[in-house]
Structure 1
């Protein structure tokens, strides 16, 4: 067990101070300015609306020029910071296992024509099923989830997708490195339950499980409702001639006649969703072809077996009509307790949306008009450090509620409520940043002289699917059924 993990378990103040000291050690250039910038985000009154206004916060003792210079020219040892985040105590599921959720959130920059490496990000419009591509920087974020109803998560890693990156490949590499760091930090040991990775329908779940098959992890994710999977090949009697089949009968999500009897079924009464019925079918796999992501796979394509879970509920908290949810789990031979644990763990995946909302609406992650993607990465890591400090200060904060807000127990405080009291906790923790030195601003460009070095402009990149480039063909007007293997 690391010293940081032990200190947090023993004394919350000591653990918070030790993490702040470790974070300061990760800052290799403009350390004092970057450290005070994170304190300004933590201690600001209300949501962060502007980056320059953070220089007016009392905990930030430097001017606005030093603030921008820190983001533009500062340096963060990201490798050491990743190890420090992995060493902090993490939340666990009901059975004691680690549950990691991965998702992509976008920092939209539609008007930043001088910012390179922007990608068209798909966002939801106001209309029904309306998707609008907006230029921005997509980030793949991995968080550890808690059990039960909560808006808390533990952000552990963030990685910006560069033009041409495949989301599944990048997430698999990112998840592999994170799991290795967690094992080195003592968060997982031999004999512990395997780490559960939960993703949404935007990922190719069988492919992610195949890329991580040598790690102690299990992958759980949602599939589209028009998928078609295959059953295991039935045993052939001796003496059967011909080439053995690799795939069994079809399992069509949209055709109940192909489902047959489920291998496990549970019925649970819930407060938010009414009656939740979960049915599971064992050993189902997709039929892979030498296309898209599997073009680099030579020889015989693998058969990736798993368990399909169909979740149906009575009502939704939003009042919308509930639709069936199809899940695919990389494990097999699921029991009734396994099915209950899996679908409830998938519903906890949506807690990561609360974290993204806090990043953008309260901590001001997307409010700075940063030009370079390197500075955006630097600011993103500062936001992750801010949230980690809020999580460590969770047992120490008092409920500073507004007159119109209901009282909340200390253990039920939200991250925004904990942030209100951080200004009172900060003097009791370590503050290694030194006092600012007196300096004068540079002369700048002479008055009346025009800028003879215009900033270059960059094109927006499109998200490309893995595999060889195909020639553009005329789009067919013949309607085709929604059916994907």
Structure 2
């Protein structure tokens, strides 16, 4: 079973009366623009049912409050989901979760973790044997991802011919750890795309594996390609299901509306096998329907099963605001800024 987690932002920069707004990361289409917006963040953990495609079925889709952060929220969601699973899953995470904090918070969770690493990360090997003098060392030699001179001989190396990515070179190093999580050993995988024809070499792709060691190197790295289904789901609910279209007044209203997104996604998944494709005039017919294609043809299902809602009533004319009724200005809330203070280093007196 494969799980994937990530978080996204519901941008509300002009909602000055919405409580608990924070600064959230959001990619900007223009180059040079800061990838920051004001709104509310939501963390999602989803089940990826297929080997390929854009289907992602969310199990939890919850708001990240101003008292929480994406790392802590994702760790709590993973722990809650794994308690109800019959087998040990593989969880896939982006580079933001490839840190010591996430590794330590999910150390007791019965799930294998495959995370992407930023190219400027520094890891450490196993410490050398104790010499008998002074304090035993906690870290070994540095392993800088962007400095090949610090790389020891790989524990495993192989070449794979991928049908879409071409010829790939895979390298594996074991028994590495972050500086803040020395007790949690990990395996680092480098995926390098070699030159094929007119293609130029691209930057290496780094992954970190925390889990059982009985899986082959070829199968581990290929699982990470399934993580992008969560990104497709975020795009689908924002563009097709209009998740971020309403302008609600309170966080509780936004949460209730957000709870409908996983329910709608599961309904489309359950109707996928029994629905007939209804392509638009500019679309080609296909066999494996995506969430968008199922949503286009879902009207045929609603026409058969009907709806429990009553018939719409005539609108009429509103009476408007009652004369003499006092008006009260809504409360405006400041933007909550999450701060992080690094611990001060204690200087040692050499005198």
TM-score range, shorter chain: 0.7 to 0.9
Equivalent of 1:265 in 132, 157, 161: 157
Structure 1 residue 435 corresponds to structure 2 residue 315 = no
Q: Secondary structure at the match of 2:225?
A: helix
Higher strand share: 2
How many Å apart are 1:124 and its aligned residue? 2.3
Equivalent of 2:183 in 303, 309, 316: 303
How many Å apart are 1:118 and its aligned residue? 0.9
- In 2: Cα distance, 1:315 partner to 1:157 partner: 41
CA contact (8 A) 1:142 1:155 kept: yes
- In 2: Cα distance, 1:203 partner to 1:368 partner: 30
Please name the residue that 2:330 is paired with. 455
How many Å apart are 1:231 and its aligned residue? 0.7
RMSD in angstroms over aligned alpha carbons?
2.8
Please name the residue that 1:200 is paired with. 94
Please name the residue that 2:253 is paired with. 375
**Cα gap change, 1:255 to 1:200, in 2 (>3 Å):** same
How many Å apart are 1:173 and its aligned residue? 1.1
Q: Secondary structure at the match of 2:96?
A: coil
Please name the residue that 2:19 is paired with. 116
Equivalent of 1:161 in 64, 73, 84: 64
Alignment of 1:309-328 (within 5 A): 309-314=189-194, 322-328=202-208
Structure 1 residue 231 corresponds to structure 2 residue 125 = yes
Q: Secondary structure at the match of 1:307?
A: strand
Please name the residue that 1:243 is paired with. 135
CA contact (8 A) 1:226 1:252 kept: yes
Structure 1 residue 135 corresponds to structure 2 residue 29 = no
- In 2: Cα distance, 1:151 partner to 1:270 partner: 20
Q: Secondary structure at the match of 2:97?
A: coil
**Cα gap change, 1:357 to 1:399, in 2 (>3 Å):** same
List gaps (5 residues or longer) in structure 2. Answer: 345-351
Please name the residue that 2:348 is paired with. none
TM-score using structure 2 length: 0.88
Please name the residue that 2:222 is paired with. 344
How many Å apart are 1:204 and its aligned residue? 4.3
CA contact (8 A) 1:282 1:332 kept: no
Equivalent of 1:330 in 190, 194, 210: 210
CA contact (8 A) 2:126 2:176 kept: yes
Please name the residue that 1:61 is paired with. none
How many Å apart are 1:430 and its aligned residue? 8.2
Q: How many residues align?
A: 341
Q: Secondary structure at the match of 2:57?
A: strand
CA contact (8 A) 1:143 1:157 kept: yes
Equivalent of 1:423 in 282, 299, 306: 299
Equivalent of 2:168 in 273, 276, 279: 276
How many Å apart are 1:320 and its aligned residue? 9.7
CA contact (8 A) 1:272 1:315 kept: no
Please name the residue that 1:174 is paired with. 77
CA contact (8 A) 1:307 1:330 kept: yes
- In 2: Cα distance, 1:285 partner to 1:267 partner: 25
CA contact (8 A) 1:228 1:286 kept: yes
How many Å apart are 1:446 and its aligned residue? 1.9
CA contact (8 A) 1:282 1:334 kept: no
Alignment of 1:5-154 (within 5 A): 98-128=1-31, 130-154=33-57
For residues 421-474 of structure 1, the C-alpha deviation after alignment (integer angstroms, 9 at most, x for no partner) is 21222355585x353697989845225x57521111111122333x6798xxxx
TM-score using structure 1 length: 0.65
Please name the residue that 1:40 is paired with. none
How many Å apart are 1:212 and its aligned residue? 2.2
List gaps (5 residues or longer) in structure 1. Answer: 1-97, 289-300, 471-485
How many Å apart are 1:417 and its aligned residue? 0.9
Higher helix share: 1
Higher mean alpha-carbon deviation, 198-207 vs 383-392, is at: 198-207
How many Å apart are 1:386 and its aligned residue? 0.8
CA contact (8 A) 1:199 1:221 kept: yes
- In 2: Cα distance, 1:325 partner to 1:171 partner: 23
How many Å apart are 1:322 and its aligned residue? 3.0
How many Å apart are 1:244 and its aligned residue? 2.3
CA contact (8 A) 1:310 1:325 kept: yes
**Cα gap change, 1:160 to 1:144, in 2 (>3 Å):** same
- In 2: Cα distance, 1:408 partner to 1:374 partner: 40
CA contact (8 A) 1:198 1:219 kept: yes
